[in-house]
């Protein structure tokens, strides 16, 4: 049977939480493999809303849930999220939740530096959440990170690691005119934290290898979206990790063969949070209507999302870079009632036609969408659970998106409720 990686095929916020929750009923294990607590998933189960940032969506279903080495982990945020879920009646224990022992930690200093740099950037800010994800990834690649396993080390070793880290960060903070970090106070915080977080530590790569050999179904859950990938996204307006499907293996300690099927999640339109290029963005009443109908506000930040027509160029690009086998199309019902719909099929930049988004930021900023107009539908798609329940124009819309993107729709959803999902192609099938 195929193990499945679920990734965002746009700029994030595509509805991965619901899709992963829907698929997790048939999985044995759910793995988060990148990002941090800057990503949010909202699940609606039996009328109860669960908001997750670090915990894999499968935890709500009682599935073995794993946080891989590809994340940067704010341990205090994780413990807070665990307690919040427990308050909603969800069991979260070291038996059900495993955290890679080699995961780098997000410390209070990372958020402090993140916010200080954004403030200093003024109009040139990237639009980060200010939660320290970027600085924590920087420490990882600079080989000065404090990892979860370091909390089990002796005091002298931990203090030496803190001192090494602060020799870099305090110099930066001083240059920004920001408050410096007290190493002794940070050491005390980490020592207090250790007995609370270490019970969840595990040799994740070894556990996953064993689970695969025993034929367990594994679902790899990505955060953000492919267009925010540090290498392949709209750089520099991206996140600090690789959001592409290839990182599902690397970010959990597995080889490339660990993933048999890649499911890309995309909305029936396009949204983006924060700064950066967005060729098909709408600034009129149509964009406002889409945002209101789709309740387009960030799960973590609460910021309103920018809204626009479906961009087939970007989704096609995401499919190629991530090797997407099938799409999960979400929020089809938001488009109910429009007389006509537009789809971006290419760009015009300085008089030249492009069927992809160039890497150069100055060209991305000048990209003008070339649209194809399709008829809308008057009937409702909300709550539909089969092709037969969709208006004919809605079926045509989905089929045309498949042609433009070059990848079939494996499933689509027509409301926030998990049951309102139509399975076309089973990702778990061999």
Q: What are phi and psi of 71, to 5 degrees?
A: -85, 170
What is the helix (H) or strand (E) element at residue 328, kind and residue range?
A: strand 326-330
State how far the Cα of 401 lies from the Cα of 403, in Å rounded to an integer.
5
What is the helix (H) or strand (E) element at residue 264, kind and residue range?
A: strand 261-267
State how far the Cα of 326 lies from the Cα of 262, in Å rounded to an integer.
7
The tally of CA atoms less than 13 A away on the side-chain side of residue 216 is: 19
Two tokens, residue 76: 């205090």
User: Which listed residue (37, 41, 112, 325) is catalytic?
Assistant: 41
Q: Left, alpha or beta for 154 (phi > 0: left; psi -120 to 50: alpha)?
A: beta
- Is 41 designated active site? yes
What count of other Cβ atoms lies within 10 Å of the Cβ of residue 191? Answer: 12
User: Which listed residue (13, 21, 229, 333) is catalytic?
Assistant: 13
Q: What are phi and psi of 50, to 5 degrees?
A: -120, 130
Give the rounded distance of the alpha carbon of 191 from its chain centre: 31
State how far the Cα of 55 lies from the Cα of 52, in Å rounded to an integer.
6
Residue 283 neighbours by CB under 8 Å, 6+ apart? none
Residue 17 · residue 52 · CB < 8 Å:
yes
Q: Which residues are catalytic?
A: 13, 41
């Amino acid at each position: 049977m195929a193990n499945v990686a679920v990734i965002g095929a746009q700029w994030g916020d595509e509805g991965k939480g619901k899709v992963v929750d829907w698929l997790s009923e048939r999985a044995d294990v759910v793995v988060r493999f990148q990002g941090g607590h800057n990503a949010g998933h909202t699940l609606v189960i039996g009328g109860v809303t669960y908001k997750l940032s670090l915990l894999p969506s499968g935890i709500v279903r009682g599935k073995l849930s794993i946080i891989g080495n590809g994340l940067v982990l704010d341990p205090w945020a994780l413990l807070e999220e665990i307690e919040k879920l427990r308050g909603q009646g969800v069991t979260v224990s070291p038996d059900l939740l495993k955290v890679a022992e080699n995961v780098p930690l997000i410390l209070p200093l990372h958020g402090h530096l993140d916010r200080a740099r954004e403030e200093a950037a003024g109009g040139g800010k990237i639009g980060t959440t200010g939660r320290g994800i970027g600085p924590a990834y920087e420490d990882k690649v600079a080989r000065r990170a404090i990892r979860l396993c370091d909390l089990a080390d002796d005091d002298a070793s931990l203090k030496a690691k803190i001192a090494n880290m602060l020799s870099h960060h305090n110099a930066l903070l001083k240059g920004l005119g920001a408050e410096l970090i007290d190493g002794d106070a940070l050491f005390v915080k980490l020592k207090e934290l250790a007995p609370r977080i270490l019970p969840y530590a595990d040799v994740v790569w070894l556990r996953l290898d064993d689970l695969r050999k025993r034929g367990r179904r594994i679902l790899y859950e990505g955060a953000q979206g492919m267009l925010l990938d540090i290498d392949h996204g709209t750089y520099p307006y991206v996140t600090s990790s690789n959001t592409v499907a290839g990182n599902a293996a690397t970010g959990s300690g597995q080889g490339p063969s660990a993933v048999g099927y890649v499911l890309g999640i995309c909305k029936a339109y396009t949204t983006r949070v924060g700064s950066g290029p967005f060729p098909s963005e709408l600034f009129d009443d149509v964009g406002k209507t889409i945002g209101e109908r789709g309740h387009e506000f960030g799960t973590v930040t609460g910021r309103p999302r920018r809204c626009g027509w479906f961009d087939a160029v970007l989704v096609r690009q995401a499919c190629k870079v991530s090797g997407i086998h099938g799409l999960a199309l979400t929020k089809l019902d938001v488009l109910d009632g429009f007389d006509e719909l537009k789809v971006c099929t290419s760009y015009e930049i300085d008089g030249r036609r492009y069927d992809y988004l160039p890497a150069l930021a100055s060209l991305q900023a000048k990209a003008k969408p070339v649209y194809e107009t399709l008829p809308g539908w008057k009937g409702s798609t909300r709550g539909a659970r089969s092709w037969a329940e969709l208006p004919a124009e809605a079926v045509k819309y989905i089929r045309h998106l498949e042609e433009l993107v070059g990848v079939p729709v494996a499933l689509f959803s027509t409301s926030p409720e998990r049951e309102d999902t139509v399975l076309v192609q089973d990702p778990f099938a061999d």
